A and B are shown apart, each in its own frame.
Chain A
Amino acid sequence: MSHQKSFQYADLLSVLERVVDIMSAPDQYSYPSVFIYGHRATGKSHVVLSIMKDLELPHASVDCVECVSSGLLFHQVLSAFFGPDAAALLPRCPSLSDFVRLYKQMSSNSPATQTRYIILDRAERMRDMDFSLLPALLRLQELVNDNVTVILLSEIVWEKFRPNTGCFEPLLFHFPDYSKGKSLVQILSWDHHPSYTPELYASYINILLGVFFSVCRDLRELRHLAVLNFSKFCEPLEKGEAKESDIHKLWKNIEPHLQRAMQTVYLREVSSVQWEQQQMDEKEATTLRVLSAHAHIELPYYSKFLLIAAYLASFNPARTDRRFFLKSHGKIRKTNFLKKHEKTSNHLLGPKPFPLDRLMAIFYSVVDSRVAPTASVFSQISSLVTLQLLSQVGHDDQLDSPKYKCSVSLDFILAISRCVCVCVRLLDLLALSLVIQSQVVRQERSLFTAVSNLHLL
Chain B
Amino acid sequence: MFNAAEMSEIPLTSSVSKGCFVFKSASKKRKRHVGVEVLPSLHQLNKKVLDSLAEFIKKHGLGCSSDNWRQRARETPTAALMLGVNVPDHAMTFRSLCNLLQDSVTPFVVSVHAKECAAVKLLIQKVLEQLMGRGVSVDEEQEDDTALLQRTQCTISALCQWYKTVTKSLPVVVIFKDFEAFNSQVLQDFILICSRYTQELPFIFIFGIATSPSAIQHRLPHSVSSLLCIEVFHSLSRTQHLASVFDKLILNSQFPFKLSSRVIQVLVGIFLYHDFSVQNFVKGLQFSMLEHFKSQPLSMLCCQKQEALLSAKTLSKKNVERIRHLPSFMRYVETQEPQEQVQLLTNDEHVKVTLLFHNKLHVSCIEKNLWETEEYDSALQLLRILAKDELVAALRKCAEILKSTKILQNVLQQLEDFIGRLEALEGVSSEDSSGNGIISGKMEYQRTDLFQLQKTLLEKESRRTKRMNPYEVLRSQVIEFIDSLVREYLTPAELQPLNEVCYYSSSGVLRQRLNVTPRTSIQAALSHPFYYLQNESLKTDAGTISSAAPDLCIVYKLHLECGRLINLYDWLEAFLTVMSAAEDQDTNSEECGKYDSLKHARFIQAVSEMEFLGFIKSTKQKTDHVARLTWGGC
Interface residue from B120, B180, B230, B631 paired with A387 (Cβ < 8 Å): B180
Does any Cβ of A come within 8 Å of B465's Cβ?
no
Assembled-state Cα–Cα distance A357/B515 (Å): 21
Interface residue from A69, A224, A300, A388 paired with B275 (Cβ < 8 Å): A300
Q: Is B70 within 8 A of A272, CB to CB?
A: yes
Q: Given known contacts A271-B231, A273-B231, A387-B85, is B517 in contact with A295 (CB within 8 Å)? A: no
Q: Is B231 within 8 A of A386, CB to CB?
A: no
Which residue of chain A lies nearest to B223 when distances are taken between CB atoms in the complex? Answer: A40
Q: Is B238 within 8 A of A386, CB to CB?
A: no
Assembled-state Cα–Cα distance A377/B614 (Å): 18
Q: Is B193 within 8 A of A66, CB to CB?
A: yes
Does any Cβ of A come within 8 Å of B210's Cβ?
yes
Name the B residues within 8 Å of A361 (CB-CB): 631
Assembled-state Cα–Cα distance A354/B84 (Å): 27
Interface residue from A65, A271, A301, A399 paired with B229 (Cβ < 8 Å): A271
Q: Given known contacts A65-B193, A388-B180, A389-B211, is B153 in contact with A72 (CB within 8 Å)? A: yes
Number of cross-chain contacts by CB at 8 Å:
142
Q: Is B270 within 8 A of A376, CB to CB?
A: yes
Does any Cβ of A come within 8 Å of B72's Cβ?
yes
Q: Given known contacts A68-B124, A294-B82, is B153 in contact with A75 (CB within 8 Å)? A: yes
Does any Cβ of A come within 8 Å of B73's Cβ?
yes
Does any Cβ of B come within 8 Å of A223's Cβ?
yes
Does any Cβ of A come within 8 Å of B214's Cβ?
yes
Q: Given known contacts A300-B273, A400-B614, is B196 in contact with A63 (CB within 8 Å)? A: yes
Name the B residues within 8 Å of A72 (CB-CB): 153, 155
Interface residue from A66, A268, A375 paired with B156 (Cβ < 8 Å): A66
Assembled-state Cα–Cα distance A299/B272 (Å): 9
Q: Is B72 within 8 A of A223, CB to CB?
A: yes
Contact with A along B248-287 (1 / 0, CB 8 A): 0000000000000000000000111111100000000000
Considering only residues 221-236 of chain A, those with a C-beta below 8 Å from chain B are 221, 223-224, 227
Give, as a whole number of angstroms, the nearest-CB distance from A234 to chain B: 15
Name the A residues within 8 Å of B70 (CB-CB): 272
Does any Cβ of A come within 8 Å of B532's Cβ?
no
Give, as a whole number of angstroms, the nearest-CB distance from A398 to chain B: 12
Which residue of chain B lies nearest to A75 when distances are taken between CB atoms in the complex? Answer: B153
Name the B residues within 8 Å of A383 (CB-CB): 85-87
User: Which of A272, A273, A361 counts the most B-chain CB atoms under 10 A from its CB?
Assistant: A273
Assembled-state Cα–Cα distance A300/B448 (Å): 12
Does any Cβ of A come within 8 Å of B32's Cβ?
no
Name the B residues within 8 Å of A291 (CB-CB): 80, 213-214, 216-217, 230, 232
Which residue of chain A lies nearest to B239 when distances are taken between CB atoms in the complex? Answer: A298
Does any Cβ of A come within 8 Å of B406's Cβ?
no
Give, as a whole number of angstroms, the nearest-CB distance from A306 to chain B: 11
Name the A residues within 8 Å of B196 (CB-CB): 63, 66
Q: Is A372 within 8 A of B517, CB to CB?
A: yes
Name the A residues within 8 Å of B231 (CB-CB): 271, 273-274
Interface residue from A66, A272, A289, A387 paired with B155 (Cβ < 8 Å): A66
Does any Cβ of A come within 8 Å of B119's Cβ?
yes
Name the A residues within 8 Å of B631 (CB-CB): 357, 361
Interface residue from B84, B211, B272 paired with A301 (Cβ < 8 Å): B272
Does any Cβ of A come within 8 Å of B453's Cβ?
no
Q: Given known contacts A291-B213, A303-B85, A387-B180, is B223 in contact with A400 (CB within 8 Å)? A: no
Q: Is B226 within 8 A of A302, CB to CB?
A: no
Considering only residues 314-348 of chain A, those with a C-beta below 8 Å from chain B are none
Considering only residues 84-108 of chain B, those with a C-beta below 8 Å from chain A are 84-87
Considering only residues 361-379 of chain A, those with a C-beta below 8 Å from chain B are 361, 372-377, 379
Interface residue from A274, A295, A379, A400 paired with B629 (Cβ < 8 Å): A400
Does any Cβ of A come within 8 Å of B516's Cβ?
yes
Does any Cβ of A come within 8 Å of B569's Cβ?
no
Contact with A along B72-86 (1 / 0, CB 8 A): 110101101010111
Interface residue from A224, A294, A372, A389 paired with B213 (Cβ < 8 Å): A294
Which size bracket describes the interface of B in this complex? 35 or more
Q: Is B629 within 8 A of A401, CB to CB?
A: yes
Does any Cβ of B come within 8 Å of A249's Cβ?
no
Which residue of chain B lies nearest to A273 when distances are taken between CB atoms in the complex? Answer: B229
Does any Cβ of A come within 8 Å of B69's Cβ?
yes
Which residue of chain A lies nearest to B190 when distances are taken between CB atoms in the complex? Answer: A65
Give, as a whole number of angstroms, the nearest-CB distance from A449 to chain B: 19
Does any Cβ of A come within 8 Å of B617's Cβ?
yes
Assembled-state Cα–Cα distance A224/B75 (Å): 10
Interface residue from B217, B237, B516 paired with A292 (Cβ < 8 Å): B217
Assembled-state Cα–Cα distance A297/B270 (Å): 19
Name the A residues within 8 Å of B629 (CB-CB): 357, 400-401
Q: Given known contacts A268-B225, A387-B211, is B517 in contact with A68 (CB within 8 Å)? A: no
Name the A residues within 8 Å of B157 (CB-CB): 66
Does any Cβ of A come within 8 Å of B487's Cβ?
no
Considering only residues 396-425 of chain A, those with a C-beta below 8 Å from chain B are 399-401
Q: Given known contacts A298-B84, A298-B85, A377-B274, is B193 in contact with A268 (CB within 8 Å)? A: no
Does any Cβ of B come within 8 Å of A285's Cβ?
no
Give, as a whole number of angstroms, the nearest-CB distance from B60 to chain A: 8
Considering only residues 37-94 of chain B, those with a C-beta below 8 Å from chain A are 69-70, 72-73, 75, 77-78, 80, 82, 84-87
Assembled-state Cα–Cα distance A302/B85 (Å): 13
Give, as a whole number of angstroms, the nearest-CB distance from B76 to chain A: 11
Give, as a whole number of angstroms, the nearest-CB distance from A263 to chain B: 13
Give, as a whole number of angstroms, the nearest-CB distance from A60 to chain B: 13
Does any Cβ of B come within 8 Å of A380's Cβ?
yes
Give, as a whole number of angstroms, the nearest-CB distance from B408 to chain A: 40
Name the B residues within 8 Å of A272 (CB-CB): 70, 73, 75, 229
Does any Cβ of B come within 8 Å of A296's Cβ?
yes
Contact with A along B199-216 (1 / 0, CB 8 A): 000000000001111111
Q: Is B520 within 8 A of A302, CB to CB?
A: no
Assembled-state Cα–Cα distance A83/B299 (Å): 76
Name the B residues within 8 Å of A66 (CB-CB): 155-157, 193, 196
Does any Cβ of B come within 8 Å of A267's Cβ?
yes
Q: Given known contacts A274-B231, A386-B180, A386-B181, is B275 in contact with A68 (CB within 8 Å)? A: no
Does any Cβ of B come within 8 Å of A220's Cβ?
yes
Give, as a whole number of angstroms, the nearest-CB distance from B164 to chain A: 15
Assembled-state Cα–Cα distance A341/B442 (Å): 60
Q: Is A227 within 8 A of B216, CB to CB?
A: no
Assembled-state Cα–Cα distance A377/B520 (Å): 13
Q: A294-B82, A297-B212 are in contact. List 19 more A-B contacts (CB 8 A).
A: A66-B193, A68-B121, A68-B124, A75-B153, A224-B69, A268-B217, A268-B226, A272-B73, A273-B231, A274-B231, A291-B214, A291-B216, A298-B239, A299-B85, A299-B276, A302-B273, A383-B85, A387-B87, A399-B614
27 A-B pairs whose Cβ atoms sit less than 8 Å apart in the complex: A65-B189, A65-B193, A75-B153, A268-B230, A271-B228, A272-B75, A291-B213, A291-B230, A292-B213, A294-B214, A295-B214, A298-B85, A298-B237, A298-B239, A298-B276, A300-B271, A300-B272, A300-B273, A357-B629, A372-B517, A372-B520, A373-B517, A375-B518, A376-B274, A376-B515, A386-B87, A386-B180
The 4 closest A-B pairs by CB, nearest first: A68-B121, A376-B274, A291-B213, A224-B73
